Amino acid sequence: MEDEALDDSMEGGGAQRVFHALSSAPRRKILAYLSASGLTAGEIADRFSMSKPAVSQHLSVLETAGLIKREKQGQFVHYSLIENNLVNVLNGFVQEVCPVGRPIKKESQARARAK
């Protein structure tokens, strides 16, 4: 009951959704993979050793939190970061100093340059 009141007091639960989204290591890794360029759902799933439905659930949480957007292009769903989102700016900073996120971000940047 108290958690519901907290959710309601934070812009319709927006802050709570963002913190929930960032509480998961796989979701933070997805944000790092999307840091420089978009990926399809399949390309994201290929980078994880979990089921595609599990990856889809993580993507849904990130989308609900307003951190990523999806765009259907033909038979593929492409995901990308929502630009100019303060949380994504802060997450990008953290990725620079995080030993796990730094190499993933570099991979994403290299992929963006190759396009």
For 6-29, how does the pLDDT look when each residue is reduced to its tens digit (9 = 90+)?
343 334 467 788 889 989 999 999
CB 95 within 8 A of CB 104: yes
Candidates 1.10.10.10, 3.40.50.12280, 3.40.640.10, 3.20.20.60; correct CATH number of 13-114?
1.10.10.10
pLDDT in tens, 51-84: 999 999 999 999 999 999 999 999 999 999 997 7
Give the sheet arrangement for strand 39-40, strand by strand: 39-40, 76-81, 68-73
Sequence ranges of the domains in the chain: 13-114
- Residues counted in the chain: 115
* pTM metric for this prediction: 0.70
